[in-house]
Structure 1
Amino acid sequence: MVARARIKAEPRAKRGIVAALAMLVFALFGISAPAPAQEQRSAIVLEVDGAIGPATADYLAQGLARAAEADAPLVILRMDTPGGLDTSMRDIIRDIVRSPVPVATYVSPSGARAASAGAYILYASHVAAMAPGTNVGAATPVQLGSMAPAQDDARDGEPAGEAAAPANASEAKAVNDAVAYIRSLAELRGRNADWAEAAVRTADSLSANAALEAGVIEIVAEDLDDLLAQLDGRSVSAGGVERTLETSELALTRVEPTWRTELLAAITDPNIALILMMIGVYGLMFEFMNPGALYPGTIGAICLLVGLYALAALPVNYAGIALILLGIAFMTAEAFAPSFGALGIGGLVAFVLGTTIVIDSDVPQFQIGWPVIAGVAAFSVGTTVLIARLAVTSHRRHVTSGREGLIGMVGTVVDWNGERGHVFVNGERWRATGVDTIEADDAVRVTGVRNLTLDVEPATGGEHRGMVRPAQLTEE
C-alpha cells in the first residue's frame, strides 16, 4: 500500500514542479518584456487667417469639439485677423468660454494682428500670447470707427486719442455694449480691463511687448515650441476645473477645415451669395417663361436656396433684398409694358441701391464689390433688353394658331351652293359663307371666324399662306 501511494504521488509531484516552472517562466517574461509605449499626447492647433465670419465660427466650433472628445490637453488658436462679424465673434467666444479644454490664443507670425474681433477673442482665451512684431487692439465697432481718430504720435500703452461723443443713441448703445462685453472678458481672465475699454472707445493698439507689460497678455513667444515651453506648469481654469498645463512633451496636431467649412466659406462670401441668388431668380424666371425646360428651373431653385442660406448666415438688411427683387421685377416688366424706359431705369436704380445695402456690415471683407454689382446690373439690363426684343419680334409675327391664326389663310373650295359651302383650309375641312360667285376649286381667303363657320372671299394673286389642294375631297 505504501509503494502504491508513492507511485501515485510521483506524477502529482512532477505536475506541480512543471506548473511552478511555467509560472516562473511567465513571471520572468512579464518582468523582462518592455511595457507598451504610451501614445504621445498632442495639442490641437487651429488656424485663423483672415476675416472672421460664419465659416471661421464653424471651423473653430468643430475643432474645439474634436479636442474635447479626444480629451486633448490644450488647444492653440494661431490667429492673424483684421476683425470680422460681431455675430461670428460672439459664437467663437461662447465656444471658448464653455470649452473644457484650455485654449491658448497665439497671435503670429511676426506682422500678424488681433484687431477688432480678434482682440475680443484674445481676451476670452484662457491664455493670451503674441509673437514679437505683432499687435492687438483697435476694438471699436467698425461702423463707429470714425469716433476714434488715430494719432500718429500715440505711444504703446497710451490711448490713441480722446473718444468722440457718439453721434446718436444707437451709437452710444453699441459702444457701451462693446465696452461692457470686453471688460467682462478681461475680468473673467484677470487681464487689464482699463486698456480693454480704451481699445474700444479710442481704438487703442499695443505691440506684443507693450501688451505683456500692460497685463493684456501673459506670454511673448518666438514660435509654437517656445509657446509650449512657456506654458508648461501654468495653472488655468477651464470648464470650472483648475488645470496645470504639462506641455513640455506635447506634439502638435493641426486641424484642417473640412469640406463643409470650405463650402460655407465660399458661399458666405457676399459676392458669391449675390451671384447665386441672381442665378436662382433668373433660372426660375426662364422656367416660368418656358414651362418644361427643367434645367433652368432645377439649377435656379438649387442656386436660390443656397444663396438664401448664405444670406441667412450673414447680417442681411431686408430692405436691400426687397430693393433687389423690386428692381428685377421692374426690369422684367419693362419688356412687357409700354413705359418708354421708366420701369427699366427705376428697376436698375433699385437693384444697384439694394446690392449696396443688402449686407448690414461695414467690415470690408464682407461687402459686395463694385465690379460684381456692375457685372450683375449689366447682366440684368442685358436680360431685360433680350426679353424686350423677343417680345417685340413675337408681337410683329403673324399668329399661327387658334382662331386668329386662320384669318388671312387661303384655302380651296370643296363645294359651293349659293352663299354657303365647304372649304379646305390649313389641312382641315370647314363650313364657310361668302358671295354667290364662288365656285368649286376656287381659291378663297378667310376673313373671319364665327364659331365653326368661316367667312371667306375670293382670293387674288394665286395661292397664299395655308392653301392646300387635296388630291380628292368628298362632300359631307
Structure 2
Amino acid sequence: MRKIIGKWFGYSRAVLAIAAALLGILLSAPSNGVQPPHAAPIAILLQLQGVVGPALSDYITRGLRTASERNASLVIVQMDTPGGLDTSMRDIIRSILGSPVPVATYVSPSGARAASAGTYILYASHVAAMAPGTNLGAATPVQISDLPFPGGDEGKNDKNQDTETKKSGDDAVKPSTPHSPMEAKAINDAAAYIRSLAELRGRNRDWAEKAVREAESLSASAALNENVIDIVATNVDELLAQANGRTVSAGGNKIKLDTRGLSVEQIKPDWRTELLMVITNPNVALVLMMIGIYGLIFEFMTPGSFFPGTIGAICLLVGAYALAILPVNFAGLGLIILGLVLMASEAFVTSFGVLGIGGVIAFIAGATILIDTDIPAFRISWPLTAGIALTSLALSLIAIRLIFASRRRPVVTGSEEMVRTRGEVLDWRGNRGHVLAHGERWSAISEGPLKKGQKVRISGIKGVILKVEPDQPESS
C-alpha cells in the first residue's frame, strides 16, 4: 500500500508539473502572426466579434502589442459586438489608451453593432468609424438594466418615464431612477467613465452619458452628425482614405496619420485565443471542474489506475484557470465544491441519502450564483446544472444501493466467512477435537460429544478454535 501511495503521489506531481507547464505556455505564448519588422508601412487588422470576454481581451491586447513591436502605422479593430464583461472591456480600453500605435475602431460590416461595451471601446479609440447600416449605444450596465425583468412593472414605468421626458422636449441628460444605491453607484461610475473617454477624444459627451443613463442608440449617419464618431466608410480602403492626414494623440505624442499605400495585414485569433474562448465559457469551466474532482475521487478509490487522476488533475487546473479570469462569485464556487464533496461522501459514509440530497441542493444553489454577471453569454445553463446534479445524485444512489446490497450479501472473506459453513470430524475426545473445514484441519470444541466422520456446522470462531454443532439436515 505504501508503494502504491508513493507511486500515486509521484505521478500526481508529474501531472501537476506538466499541467503547470501547459498553463505557462498558454499564458506566455506569442501572438499569432508575429513576423520580423517590415520596411513598408503596414496596418494591422484585428477582429473583435462576439461577446467581449477574457479571450477577446487577450487577443486584442496581444494584437496591439504585436503592432507596436512591428512599428505598424495603424491598428484597425473591426468590431461587431452586443457587449460583454466590464472587466474585459476595461482591459481592452487600457490597452488602447496605452498603445503607441493609433487605433481605429471600425464597426462593420453593414448590420453590425457596437452595443454596450462596444460603445465604450469605440469612444476610447483614436479614430471611431462605422459602416452604413450599423449602430451603437445602449451602454447601460447590464446588471442594472431592465433586461433581466421582462414584463416587470419597473421596466414599463421606466420606459413610460423616458417617453414622457422625450415628449417634454427637455434635451438635458436625466438619469433614470435607480432601484437601489448599488445601481445608482454603477450607473454613475459607468457614466463618468464614458464621459471621460469622450473628453479625451473630443467627442460628444452629453450623448455618451445618455447612452449610459437612458440606453440611447444611434445609426452610423446620426452618430457622425452628433460628433460621436469621426468617419462613415463602406470598407477598410475608404476608412484609410478618410483617416489620412488626421492628427491624433497616441502614446503621449501627436501623430499625423499617413495611411496612403498602407498594406493591411490581418492577425487572426490563434490557438490560444480559440482555447480561451472555449474554456472561459462558464458551462465548459464547470464541466471541467466536475471531471477534475470526480477524476481525483476515483483515483483515491482505486489507487494505481493513474488515468482518472491524470485526466482529473489536468481538467481541474484548466477549469480553475478559467474560473480565475471570469467574474466568479466565490460563495457560489464554495457551494459547488461543498455540494460535490457531499455527493462524493455518500460513497464512503452511510447517511441514507442525506449527504447526497444535501449535496445536490448545495450544487444547484452554487451554480445559480456562480457567475457574477447577467450577460446571457456568461450564464450557467440550467439544463447543464440539472444534468450534472441529477448525474451526481444518481451516482450517490448507486453507491447507496451497493452499500445495502453488500450488507445483505454473506461474508466471503476473513474469519467471519467460516461461520455457518460445514465440516467433518477428524477425531474427538469429550468436548474437544479436530475437524476438517475448507480443506484445513482446525481445533474445535462442542457442547456435546461427537463421532469421527460426523458432519458438523461451524457456529462460531474464537481465535483459531472453531465452535461446532451437529449438522442438522435441511427440511424439504
- Cα–Cα, structure 1 residues 229 and 238, in superposed 2: closer, same or farther, change >3 Å? same
For residues 235-291 of structure 1, what are the alpha-carbon distances to aligned partners after superposition, in whole Å with 9 as ceiling and x for unaligned?
A: 111111111111120111111112111111101101111111112222223333333
Which structure's relative contact order is higher, taking Cα pairs within 8 Å and 6+ residues apart? Answer: 2
SS of 1:166 mapped into structure 2: coil
Structure 1 unmatched runs, 5+? 1-37, 463-476
For residues 45-102 of structure 1, what are the alpha-carbon distances to aligned partners after superposition, in whole Å with 9 as ceiling and x for unaligned?
A: 1001100111011111111111111111111000000111111111111111111111
What is aligned with 2:100?
100
Separation in structure 1 between the aligned mates of residue 456 and residue 248 of structure 2, nearest angstrom? 102
- Cα–Cα, structure 1 residues 426 and 244, in superposed 2: closer, same or farther, change >3 Å? farther
What is aligned with 1:33?
none
What is aligned with 1:77?
77
**Segment of structure 1 superposing worse, 298-307 or 93-102:** 298-307
What is aligned with 2:283?
271
- Cα–Cα, structure 1 residues 324 and 294, in superposed 2: closer, same or farther, change >3 Å? same
Q: How far does residue 388 in structure 1 lie from its aligned partner after superposition? A: 1.9
What is aligned with 1:23?
none
Kindly indicate whether residue 260 of structure 2 is the aligned counterpart of residue 251 of structure 1: no
Q: Write the mapping of 1:288-303 to structure 2, written as runs, cut at 5 A.
A: 288-303=300-315
Contact 1:129–1:221 under 8 Å retained in 2: yes
- Cα–Cα, structure 1 residues 90 and 345, in superposed 2: closer, same or farther, change >3 Å? same
What is aligned with 1:53?
53
Contact 1:159–1:198 under 8 Å retained in 2: no
Corresponding residue to 1:286 among 274, 278, 298? 298
**Segment of structure 1 superposing worse, 324-333 or 101-110:** 324-333
- Cα–Cα, structure 1 residues 416 and 260, in superposed 2: closer, same or farther, change >3 Å? farther
TM-score (norm 1): 0.82
Bigger CA radius of gyration: 1
Corresponding residue to 1:240 among 231, 252, 264? 252
What is aligned with 2:14?
none
Q: How far does residue 39 in structure 1 lie from its aligned partner after superposition? A: 4.7
For residues 122-145 of structure 1, what are the alpha-carbon distances to aligned partners after superposition, in whole Å with 9 as ceiling and x for unaligned?
A: 111111111111111111110111
What is aligned with 2:388?
376
Corresponding residue to 1:324 among 330, 333, 336? 336
Kindly indicate whether residue 438 of structure 2 is the aligned counterpart of residue 422 of structure 1: no
Q: How far does residue 172 in structure 1 lie from its aligned partner after superposition? A: 1.6
What is aligned with 2:137?
137
For residues 298-344 of structure 1, what are the alpha-carbon distances to aligned partners after superposition, in whole Å with 9 as ceiling and x for unaligned?
A: 22222222112111111111221222233334444556777665554
- Cα–Cα, structure 1 residues 165 and 115, in superposed 2: closer, same or farther, change >3 Å? same
Q: How far does residue 443 in structure 1 lie from its aligned partner after superposition? A: 3.4
SS of 2:261 mapped into structure 1: coil
What is aligned with 1:187?
199
SS of 1:432 mapped into structure 2: strand
Separation in structure 1 between the aligned mates of residue 74 and residue 463 of structure 2, nearest angstrom? 87
Separation in structure 2 between the aligned mates of residue 368 and residue 159 of structure 1, nearest angstrom? 40
SS of 1:271 mapped into structure 2: helix
Separation in structure 1 between the aligned mates of residue 113 and residue 78 of structure 2, nearest angstrom? 11
For residues 358-392 of structure 1, what are the alpha-carbon distances to aligned partners after superposition, in whole Å with 9 as ceiling and x for unaligned?
A: 11110011011222122222212222222222222
Contact 1:336–1:388 under 8 Å retained in 2: no
Contact 2:173–2:206 under 8 Å retained in 1: no
Separation in structure 1 between the aligned mates of residue 321 and residue 375 of structure 2, nearest angstrom? 20
What is aligned with 1:65?
65
Contact 2:173–2:209 under 8 Å retained in 1: no
Contact 2:353–2:400 under 8 Å retained in 1: no
For residues 166-190 of structure 1, what are the alpha-carbon distances to aligned partners after superposition, in whole Å with 9 as ceiling and x for unaligned?
A: 2222212211111121112112212
TM-score (norm 2): 0.82
What is aligned with 2:175?
163
What is aligned with 1:43?
43
Kindly indicate whether residue 422 of structure 2 is the aligned counterpart of residue 410 of structure 1: yes
SS of 1:203 mapped into structure 2: coil
Q: How far does residue 198 in structure 1 lie from its aligned partner after superposition? A: 1.2
SS of 2:400 mapped into structure 1: helix
Contact 1:417–1:436 under 8 Å retained in 2: no
Structure 2 unmatched runs, 5+? 1-37, 147-153
- Cα–Cα, structure 1 residues 361 and 120, in superposed 2: closer, same or farther, change >3 Å? same
Kindly indicate whether residue 445 of structure 2 is the aligned counterpart of residue 395 of structure 1: no
Q: How many residues are aligned here?
A: 424
What is aligned with 1:309?
321
Separation in structure 1 between the aligned mates of residue 458 and residue 413 of structure 2, nearest angstrom? 14
- Cα–Cα, structure 1 residues 427 and 246, in superposed 2: closer, same or farther, change >3 Å? farther
Amino acid in structure 1 at the alignment position of 2:70? A
Amino acid in structure 1 at the alignment position of 2:64? L
Separation in structure 2 between the aligned mates of residue 422 and residue 42 of structure 1, nearest angstrom? 99
Contact 2:175–2:214 under 8 Å retained in 1: yes
What is aligned with 1:177?
189
Separation in structure 2 between the aligned mates of residue 413 and residue 98 of structure 1, nearest angstrom? 96
What is aligned with 1:357?
369
Separation in structure 2 between the aligned mates of residue 72 and residue 441 of structure 1, nearest angstrom? 102
Contact 1:130–1:217 under 8 Å retained in 2: yes
SS of 2:175 mapped into structure 1: coil
What is aligned with 1:473?
none
- Percent sequence identity over matched residues? 58
Separation in structure 2 between the aligned mates of residue 381 and residue 404 of structure 1, nearest angstrom? 34
Contact 1:158–1:204 under 8 Å retained in 2: no
Corresponding residue to 1:218 among 223, 230, 237? 230
Alignment root-mean-square deviation, CA: 2.6
Contact 2:45–2:77 under 8 Å retained in 1: yes
Corresponding residue to 1:438 among 436, 450, 458? 450
Separation in structure 1 between the aligned mates of residue 341 and residue 406 of structure 2, nearest angstrom? 21
What is aligned with 1:122?
122
